Amino acid sequence: MQSRLEEVKDPSAARISSSRPFPVRLLQFFLLFLVIGIGASFLSMYMIRHFGIHNVALVQSTFRPCFQTPGTIESFIMPPVNLMHKMNDTELFWRASFDTRIKDYPFRRVPKIAFMFLTKGPLPMAPLWEKFFKGHEQLYSIYVHSLPSYTPDFPPSSVFYRRHIPSQVAEWGMMSMCDAERRLLANALLDISNEWFILLSESCIPLQNFSIIYRYISRSWYSFMGAVDEPGPYGRGRYEDSMAPEINISDWRKGSQWFEINRKLAIRIVEDSTYYPKFRDFCLPHKCYVDEHYFQTMLTITMPHLLANRSLTYVDWSRGGAHPATFGKDDIKEDFFKRILVDQTCIYNGQPTSTCFLFARKFAPNALEPLLDIAPRVLGI
């Protein structure tokens, strides 16, 4: 009894006697963890000092977050800086066929005209075109398709400097000619600001100043491509029954190779895989010339309501033969241009007009000097 009372009188002593000692094994575990951590730190410092920090950075650079900061809108709308890309035609046409469904652009878009030159090599009329383009740098783009063997030598001050695209051989009357035209369209479509597309040759000249041409094209309700249902051996006579059912003889059209079309039609041409095989396989020279029928027939079938059914490029076939007339220095007179610029009648946006042609061909290289002389007075250039 006495011993129990003594235990109750000193409760603190009872608590001390009942407490458990600190586990030795847990203390050993903490010490081992601490040693390993300190050792790893020293090892890391040793490797960085002797092997360089770049190896560590290389490991870190492989990490990719689940969510990346999206690029700005400018990264999507900026035109290609270098036209000499490494895409093949299949890749190029696929990329160029992209289109926006929402036409209210979330940025200030200035619509441009893409001037596409299909050439063999040099551009003898380049000095005249330089004068034509001067002062309108925000309203146009230039693309040149030449023979792959040709090396351009334009100076950095020229509007044609570095405007050549990856090209292939284009033969007259062959599908390779239309391939070259599609290639020009596809490269021009990569610039989202290009709204209108004009096909020109090295022998083409402008017949009006830039402001008039821009206003004429931008205000037109239609695109300009001739597409005529022509009877006889040089029209319907070139049709092959093997083209049916995709192309029937009632669909067959003929027109000038030189066109001006809007962005919607340009995409339609580039993305086509339905009509291309038919023309490639059955429109063969010397019976059928594909550049006079392919685009004209395809667009008549798919989008006839968008065509003005005439070309903006003047060509003289009055002398006969397989090729149009070529104009030299002796032809460059004011009366010559009066016949083209004034003595004409056509329909523009439902109204008759005498301004039917904005470009003309074919001009020989020796016509350049008289053209430069007469251009300010007659062409307003």
Length of the chain equals: 381
Q: How far apart are CA 208 and CA 22, in angstroms?
A: 100
Return the bridge partners of 145, or none: 118
| pLDDT for position 38 | 74
* CB-based contact 315:351 (threshold 8 Å): no
Query: What are residue 222's phi and psi, to 5 degrees?
Result: -130, 165
Q: How far apart are CA 327 and CA 342, in angstroms?
A: 19
CATH topology of domain 79-100+107-310: Spore Coat Polysaccharide Biosynthesis Protein SpsA; Chain A (3.90.550)
CB crowding 26-56: b at 16 or more within 10 Å, else e? eeeeeeeeeeeeeeeeeeeeeeeeeeeeeee
Nearest to 298 by CA among 356, 251, 228, 262: 251
For residue 152, CA distances in Å to 41, 128, 179, 184, 201 come to 61, 17, 21, 17, 16
Nearest to 85 by CA among 1, 186, 8: 186
Written as six digits, the tokens of 280 are 């490639």
Written as six digits, the tokens of 93 are 């046409």
Q: How far apart are CA 145 and CA 283, in angstroms?
A: 23
The distance from CA 317 to its chain's CA centroid, rounded to whole angstroms, is 33
Identity of the residue numbered 133? F
* CB-based contact 249:239 (threshold 8 Å): yes
| DSSP letter for each residue of 253-305 | -B--S--EEEHHHHHHHHH--SSHHHHHHH--TTT--GGGTHHHHHHHHH-GG
CA angle 79, 85, 86 (to 5 degrees): 145
Q: How far apart are CA 139 and CA 194, in angstroms?
A: 9
Q: How far apart are CA 94 and CA 267, in angstroms?
A: 10
For residue 193, CA distances in Å to 109, 114, 294 come to 6, 9, 26
Written as six digits, the tokens of 278 are 């038919």
First-last CA distance in the chain: 129
Please name the residues in contact with 166: beta carbons below 8 A apart, sequence gap of 6 or more: 83, 84, 85, 86, 87, 183
Q: How far apart are CA 106 and CA 7, in angstroms?
A: 88
| pLDDT for position 156 | 93
Q: Give me the numbers of helices (H) and strands (E) for the chain, helices first please.
A: 14, 9
| DSSP letter for each residue of 118-158 | E-SS--TTHHHHHHHHTT-GGGEEEEEE--TT------TTS
Tens place of pLDDT per residue across the chain (381 aa): 444 434 444 444 444 344 455 566 666 666 776 767 676 666 666 555 554 444 433 333 333 444 444 567 776 777 777 898 999 999 999 999 988 888 788 888 899 999 999 999 999 999 999 999 999 999 999 999 999 999 999 999 999 999 999 999 988 889 999 999 999 999 999 999 999 999 999 999 999 999 999 999 999 999 999 999 999 998 999 999 999 999 999 999 999 999 999 999 999 999 999 999 999 999 998 889 999 999 999 999 999 999 999 999 999 988 777 778 899 999 999 999 999 998 889 999 999 999 999 999 999 999 999 999 999 999 999
Give the Cβ contact number of residue 336 at 10 Å.
Answer: 15
| pLDDT for position 318 | 81
Return the bridge partners of 118, or none: 145, 201
